[in-house]
A and B are shown apart, each in its own frame.
Chain A
């Protein structure tokens, strides 16, 4: 394969995928909502309506507050993991990651189980769930960045007479700023477009843009209003993604970073031990209780504990046209398919992104980030409109669910694989060429084996993310083949203890499958970086 063919492939496949499955559905929404002349007037009507203002205001407000709270709560743990080394540090990092890959539906239902009735549906529940969900982002981004900061810089400040507080404010904090900003923009984006949590915990009073798009499209079938709101959301998301990529580049341009073992210090005093134990312990309680209560609820039917909810999973239900157990199987099959697609498309894109630092590759990188924030609901809705009729009748294909899930997983694959490819010493490739390896052979012999672990990690994440995907899948999964999150949602909408019990039970199963894949991923990662 010539260099040109390869370049064409690495850019062409991801771009074609993006064009067909992201741009085309979005354009279809716009077309449906805004094609005729009086649509413009309607658009202005929608935009000036008090309800819209209220929704936009709440969306922004809750996203900002969620972000601030998340950073506040994740900060002590980031500090501890970024400055100290101790037994169980790797495990702590892995455990903290779990909530992030937990499906939003599971998080929502866990808080439904744990919160007192008074708080159960409303803004407080939304904020708490968002913090729970996003703590991992902050700890991982800020904690690992912190672990790359040279300790001696702060020590230099101390020798110049700065008190610990002063040195933190004037030296450490400015150095951390890019990581904090990057984490904040990611959390903001996730909170801004959050769907499952708002749908289940928001109650009737609190609605975000994402939620309102769903309402208008599915409940009121007002496609025009849905399309206009989708447009508003898209503008917000593009803006946030743009800021996020810019900030991330600053994080990436950190210069020569010292090795972790030159930065992390063992615990020496009881005070240090206390700080580590307290900050990680509190986080563990905050993250652990909802999940424990979720398990408890899945076992509580009526006044006693039993496995009845789990046993019922094998029997037909009136919530959808399959047994709940079939939903488990569906989920795993769909997610596996999605992981394969995401790995191929995202892997090729990673080669393109890592291959050059030019504007083209940055643009591709940014475009691939878009589906991440462009709202799963919009994607699902767009798929329904775009692929329902000629020219592309894709609606009944079993591939439609994996494809939409892959779209959401691809940005993660690129994020994980591209840095590894970039980190390969160019001279290794040159050395291979000098020994007679053609460019294609160099990729197979050097790039692939080195990126192999990263690809495995990416596959695990893609699988976990696809398993939990809800916003788009809820539009596309057919009643006779629901996925786990969809099945959980359907059960929640039905009255009775057994239905609630089955929702909890399925959430426990979903959580277990996701946890297993994440821990498998962490093991692979540990082999490479020496964690755990």
Chain B
């Protein structure tokens, strides 16, 4: 469906995209996960036609669209911070793409209504976009991009500027929406939770390159290299192997028993608790344990590792 072939972009001699190749199948949602400055927004701009690649091609349905101007590509883009048209109301924003393709007035009105229902903003037609909350603006931006039925939808950190709770809620909404309308989408984010929740496949980007592409389970099971493993939060990397934190069991040493090490730090992350243990051998090991019962810093503990959680790196 969407193909990116060997695309490179340089800014002032510095490489922003370095020989990137990626395919998105029909109806598939691919998320691009990377730290800021990794080139993921540039990748979207190349696909959208807003940035000319210095090398490589962009294919849509097998057709080379590298030289096609953005307004003739039929690709939708949801901008970071929305980029809504402040001088138009909600209706005017969502209707824009429909007017560009010359829909009749009745059709436009009907479709705008449908889309606003879809994103949960039914009846908002006449509202001014500047009076909307961040989450509402985000929904308008999404409805606007979806309205002209783009062949591919691109989303550039669409939830980036929202606070955590709102982000979680919109994330669920987006998941449901993507299932319902079976859209082909490329979604860029620096947030792991978003990337793994939404992506059928996740592409991990670093320094202008895609270092790994795979389903969320694949990535967790076999990270491509140490950096990727660390980026995914798999802290226990040593001697070319990873010990997954959830494979490490930690139990308090019974009174008088010596145990394997001492707890240095305890940090709650949602339902699980991460425990850093300094082993008597001098190494540290991170364990993800149930939040129901966990040791405290200073406790002597026994450590057991489930073999299935030891992943060799290539």
Contacts and interface: CB of A to CB of B under 8 A. Distances in A.
Contact of B148 (A433, A436, A438, A445): A436
A430 B141 CA distance: 13
B83 A435 contact: no
Given A433-B69, A437-B100, A441-B100, A450 B50 contact: no
Contacts of B50: 430, 433-434
A13 interface: no
Interface string A422-457: 000101101111111111010001100110000000
B53 interface: no
A425 to B, nearest CB: 6
A434 B87 contact: no
B97 A436 contact: yes
B70 A430 contact: yes
B48 interface: yes
B76 interface: yes
B83 A430 contact: yes
Interface in B120-148: 144-145, 147-148
A435 B100 contact: yes
B85 A436 contact: no
Given A436-B71, A438-B71, A450-B87, A431 B100 contact: no
B77 interface: yes
B89 to A, nearest CB: 13
Given A428-B85, A450-B87, A435 B148 contact: yes
A432 B96 contact: yes
Given A441-B100, A445-B96, A433 B83 contact: no
B75 interface: yes
A427 B70 contact: no
B97 A428 contact: no
Interface centre among B48, B86, B87, B147 (most CB of A within 10 A): B87
A274 to B, nearest CB: 38
B269 interface: no
Interface residues of A, number: 18
Contacts of A441: 71, 100
Contact of B75 (A434, A438, A446, A449): A434
A431 B71 contact: no
Given A427-B79, A441-B100, A445-B96, A435 B144 contact: yes
Contacts of B69: 433, 438
B79 A430 contact: yes
A425 B81 CA distance: 11
Interface residues of B, number: 26
A166 B50 CA distance: 51
B96 A433 contact: no
B101 interface: yes
A449 B86 CA distance: 10
Interface in B58-113: 69-72, 74-77, 79, 81, 83-87, 96-97, 100-101
Contact of A431 (B85, B147, B148): B85
Contacts of B76: 434-435
A431 B77 contact: yes
Contact of A433 (B70, B84, B87): B70
Contact of A434 (B84, B86, B145): B145
Contacts of A427: 79, 81, 83
Given A436-B100, A445-B96, A431 B79 contact: yes
A487 to B, nearest CB: 43
B96 A428 contact: no
Interface centre among B72, B79, B85 (most CB of A within 10 A): B85
Nearest to A445: B96
Contact of A435 (B81, B87, B97): B97
B85 A446 contact: yes
A325 B96 CA distance: 50
A433 B50 CA distance: 9
A434 B70 contact: yes
Contacts of A428: 83, 85-86
Interface string B30-70: 00000000000000000011100000000000000000011
A431 B100 CA distance: 12
Contacts of B147: 435
Nearest to B88: A449
Interface centre among A425, A431, A432, A446 (most CB of B within 10 A): A431
Interface centre among B70, B77, B84, B101 (most CB of A within 10 A): B70
A449 B79 contact: no
Nearest to A436: B100
Given A433-B50, A434-B77, A425 B83 contact: yes
Contacts of B48: 430, 434
A425 B84 CA distance: 10
Given A430-B50, A446-B85, A449-B87, A435 B96 contact: yes
Interface string A289-301: 0000000000000
Contacts of A436: 71-72, 74, 97, 100-101, 148
Contacts of B100: 432, 435-437, 441
Interface centre among B50, B69, B71, B76 (most CB of A within 10 A): B71
Interface of B: 48-50, 69-72, 74-77, 79, 81, 83-87, 96-97, 100-101, 144-145, 147-148
Interface of A: 425, 427-428, 430-439, 441, 445-446, 449-450
18 contacts: A425-B83, A428-B86, A430-B50, A430-B77, A431-B79, A431-B84, A434-B70, A434-B71, A434-B77, A435-B76, A435-B96, A435-B144, A436-B71, A436-B100, A437-B96, A438-B69, A439-B71, A441-B100
The 7 closest A-B pairs by CB, nearest first: A435-B97, A436-B100, A427-B83, A433-B70, A434-B77, A431-B83, A433-B71
Given A431-B84, A436-B148, 14 more contacts: A427-B79, A428-B85, A430-B50, A430-B83, A433-B69, A433-B71, A434-B70, A435-B144, A436-B72, A437-B96, A438-B71, A441-B71, A445-B96, A450-B87
